[in-house]
Amino acid sequence: MRKLIKHTLVAVLYYSGLLYSMRLLFKPKVCKSPLILMYHQVAGDQETKNKYLMKGLYVFQSTFDKQMAYLKKKYNLMTLSQLVEHLVNNRPIPKKSVIITFDDGWRDNFQYAYPVLKKYNIPATVFITTDFIESGKIFWFLKAAVLHQNSRLTLEQFSDIFGNYTHDIKRSPSGSSENYLETLYTDLEEFMVFIKRFDNGQILKLLDEMAAISGLNIKELLTERLMLNWAEINEIKDLVEIGSHGCSHHIMTTLGADALKTELTESKNILEEKTGRPITLFAYPNGDYNNDIKKMVSEAGYRAAICTTGVDTTPDEHDLFAIKRLGVHEGVSAGFGNGFSKALFYFTICNWKNIL
């Protein structure tokens, strides 16, 4: 019911023109240029039963097509490098500018996103995590999802692994660790949020323990190639600029100085060697950074870096090494019957949820 009320209200505001009028009224706070959208995976429409697609991290190709068609008609599409040039040189940014970005380097960016970008001649930026290109390696968060969804662990076994780490967390209605463990055992999204609180070494240790006790072989469950290869990266690079997302996708605030330097410089060097293009843009894995990391990104030779969700409401707010983005996924434009809703998409990309 709540979802129905929201969709109805947004539709009325959008199609009556009231939302546009309110945009003018709240102009200092919302719908400011430029807007940077963050995507991850673009799934084929036939993949509706892919249980490893994580909520908030994918959009189906048909939805992506409608989103791009809407943006092409209503907005000025530019690259992230063009935005950086405007900011560095203090030049006015074209009104209603939108920038499309993708994180990680998923193969479906080539299979399903790139044909749509070509169709509408829309530039984009893809941030590549170099360790996973043509290596057969699996992201820790994908490994976590596969283990959780295919787990043969009993609740008791699951509790033996994770029980010692939940005593200080009060998430269940009763606040008890036991109830929270049951939530983690059944709810993938809660499990992913929970496991991100650990450092990278601990995450891998816990996942290896899950795999060993479950007797699961991850690579036998993931038989298709999931990441881009170098040929695909080089095929898209005329329309899609390439940036670095580090080497390992480890959360950078958990790494020491030497590991951070390796993440920044090695990924940059590999991408420049493989693409023949200068790599000047960086995206923080999981959006985590601090002032010391920003300084290291600059010293490594990048011109700018972007984090995760948020909106810079005026160009003056842009920190070149912490440029904000707004996350986009399948649900943000799903209206009645889960069909594409222009009203909801506009509502989301203009960040109205922080006003209404």
CATH code at 12? 3.20.20.370
User: At residue 285, does pLDDT exceed 90?
Assistant: yes
Paired tokens of 153: 């662990």
- Mark whether 206 and 123 lie in a shared domain: no
Last residue of a domain, one of 221, 247, 270: 221
Residues 349 and 232 in one domain: yes
Which parts of the chain fold into alpha helices (H)?
A: 2-16, 18-25, 61-74, 80-88, 108, 114-120, 140-149, 155-162, 177-186, 188-195, 200-214, 218-221, 230-236, 257-275, 291-299, 342-349
Could you tell me which of 76, 73, 78, 41 has the C-alpha nearest to residue 60?
41
Residue appearing with tokens 């995206």: 283
- In this predicted structure, the answer to whether residue 17 has a pLDDT above a threshold of 70 is no
Each residue of 155-195: pLDDT tens digit? 999 999 988 887 655 444 445 566 888 999 999 888 988 88
Q: What pLDDT was estimated at residue 8? A: 57
Listed residues 170, 198, 221: the one ending a domain = 221
Helix-, strand-, coil-residue percentages of the chain, each rounded to 5: 50, 15, 35
- Cα 304 versus chain centre, distance: 17
- Whether residue 171 sits in one domain with residue 52: no
Span 155-165, pLDDT tens digits = 999 999 988 88
Task: Please give the tally of structural domains in the chain.
Answer: 2
Whether residue 213 is found in the same domain as residue 90: no
Domain that holds residue 10: 2-135+227-354
Q: Are residues 32 and 119 in the same domain?
A: yes
What does pLDDT average to over the chain? Answer: 85
214 and 233 inside one domain: no
Q: Are residues 305 and 205 in the same domain?
A: no
Residues 107 and 152 reside in one and the same domain:
no
Of 159, 193, 221, which one is at a domain's C-terminal end? 221
